[in-house]
Amino acid sequence: MTALLSVKGVKTYYGNIVALKGVDVEVNEGEIVTLIGANGAGKSTLMMTICGAPRAREGSISFAGRDITGLPTHEIMRLKIAQSPEGRRIFGRMSVYENLQMGAAVAGNTHFQDDLERMFDLFPRLKERLHQRGGTLSGGEQQMLAIARALMTRPRLLLLDEPSLGLAPLVVKQIFDAIRDLNRSEGLTVFLVEQNAYHALRLAHRAYVLVNGLVTMSGTGKELLERPEVKAAYLEGGH
């Protein structure tokens, strides 16, 4: 079986500064794969490189057997890849409904009502907030909206960049539960970048550890949770 998303030997630079020094990551269909690492390890850079901004200077990225390394961002995002970007980046002055509609903008409105109902089942809070401006939602609701907006594109692969950022533990649990549900019931493939290593590793089927732009460890989520190096670096001090 070939992987749905495969990243091979990717090197990314910001000007002359190297951010990724040859990263290999594979995500198979139906998996939840997580990438953990400290601040500045290059987690978000990898996520953004998959989306084509910044572009990989070396190496290749392919999705569903197609090379996407050189494609412009908006074309990559039309290939059934959706992203909930870091910091959520919802449209603050547009209502929740309009935000969701923007998610469906490229796909057209054919499945809009069905998808809307699905999102309400997944995140009932969004239904209550439907006509509020996105910017007036709480952090957790905004994160739900960002994920729902990404799902409105009906993706095969969902990229999540730090969905737990700045959220209360209970809300983090809600969001992670929703991701697990989506994966179980619909077989959605998820690639998750997280700092909250404990929750991410428990959620994920497989995981990678990124240190200074290089993958240093990989394995199943459970295996990594047990590894002393992981414990020392990412799990000490509570979860």
Interface ranges with other proteins (CB under 8 A)? 51, 53, 72-75, 77-78, 82-85, 89-95, 97-98, 101-103, 105-106, 130-131, 133, 135-136, 149-150, 153
- Shortest distance (Å) from residue 214 CB to other proteins: 26
Query: Which CB sits closer to other proteins, 116 or 197?
Result: 116
Q: CB–CB of 33/12 below 8 Å?
A: no
How far apart CA 175 and CA 195 sit, in angstroms, is: 15
Query: Which CB sits closer to other proteins, 145 or 178?
Result: 145
How far apart CA 23 and CA 227 sit, in angstroms, is: 21
Locate all alpha helices (DSSP H) within the chain, ordered by sequence.
43-50, 73-76, 96-103, 112-122, 124-128, 139-151, 169-186, 197-203, 221-226, 228-230
Burial class, 120, CB count within 10 angstroms (exposed 0-12 / middle 13-18 / buried 19+): middle
- Shortest distance (Å) from residue 70 CB to other proteins: 16
- Shortest distance (Å) from residue 225 CB to other proteins: 30
Query: Which CB sits closer to other proteins, 23 or 145?
Result: 145
Pairing of strands 206-211, 66-67: unpaired
- Shortest distance (Å) from residue 72 CB to other proteins: 8
Q: For residue 152, what is the DSSP state?
A: T
Q: Which residue carries 């995981």 as its tokens?
A: 207
Pairing of strands 58-63, 5-14: antiparallel
Query: Which CB sits closer to other proteins, 158 or 225?
Result: 158
- Shortest distance (Å) from residue 104 CB to other proteins: 9
- Shortest distance (Å) from residue 95 CB to other proteins: 5
Residue 2, SS3 per DSSP: coil
Query: Which CB sits closer to other proteins, 45 or 206?
Result: 45
Number of H helices, E strands in the chain: 10, 10
Query: Which CB sits closer to other proteins, 61 or 230?
Result: 61
